[in-house]
Structure 1
């Protein structure tokens, strides 16, 4: 096998795994936006607090961690390979790299800079004495979840387009 065939197979494999991780996360965020956020908006302050605290503890599990971090690590490694092989000049490389940037900024960075601090704040709440800004926090959390959902879906579409462009 020639080095070109091996590098092409590696790129296809990495883009495929990136697409799978990205698709699972896009589905997770979409499902959350299309159902859980809407349900949380209907809850009283104390029930909202209890539910968010439960959800935020429950989501921190091994399976979610593997997929959540896999959706950033695998595409980042894949992007490095695309760049090192010079595939960034191809249509598939450009589509994939655009997807990685959108996912990183719109999903991962939003989670790290917006959702985790809000979740940590919510963890300090007591249902007996809620902060005055609880409704503002709920609205902000939901709005930013819709942003990361949109970014994850856009990224997933770009990953698929990159694979189609490769003819994979």
Structure 2
């Protein structure tokens, strides 16, 4: 049972890190390079789509880490799992306080109603997202180390 929890947790968190990494370093760069309003429309759509999925994925990852930590409390590496879960909680708190408010505004924007400073707001979201990606990579690395 513990082996299954370890594998599922590592895969779920690893996939989440991959998605968030690709948003930061691939998708948003592609969208920003599109002509006209296409990039802003793409970011709005992405904000709606991922904004619906990511809360479940983030909270689910924390819950899986908690299950792993409890089920493996007598095994070596549990401290690494707890540290990884703590970093995931940091990413959830960052998301709620810093990224979600910007995303909630951005996902409603159209070329007709977006504010003049929409690019600055997206740049601020990007900067916080880079930090969040670094935190997520740290969490994932701790979980992988706990398997060793």
Q: Unaligned regions of 5+ residues in structure 1, if any?
A: 1-8
How many residue pairs were aligned? 148
- Relative contact order (alpha carbons < 8 A, sep ≥ 6): 1 or 2 greater? 1
Per-residue CA deviation, residues 3-36 of structure 1 (Å, 9 max, x unaligned), is xxxxxx53x4333322111111111111111201
CA–CA distance in 2 between the matches of 1:80 and 1:103? 16
Distance in 2, matches of 1:96 and 1:114, equals 25
Deviation of residue 37 (structure 1)? 2.1
Paired residue secondary structure (2:115)? coil
CA distance in 2, matches of 1:115, 1:93: 30
Match of 1:35 among 22, 26, 32: 26
What RMSD, in angstroms, separates the aligned Cα atoms of the two structures?
2.5
Match in the other structure for 2:83: 98
What is the TM-score normalised by the length of structure 2?
Answer: 0.82
Partner of 1:24: 15
Matches within 5 A, 1:45-84: 46-59=37-50, 67-82=57-72
Measured against aligned partners, the alpha-carbon deviations of 1:49-104 in whole angstroms (never above 9, x if no partner) come to 31122112233566x6654442222113333445xx4x4xx650111111111121
Pair member with larger Rg: 1
Q: Which of these residues, 114, 118, 121, is aligned with residue 102 of structure 2? A: 118
Structure 1 92/49 Cα, relative in aligned 2: closer, same or farther at 3 Å?
same
Structure 1's consecutive aligned runs of 4 or more residues displaced over 6 angstroms after TM superposition are none
Q: Which runs of 5+ in 2 are unaligned?
A: none
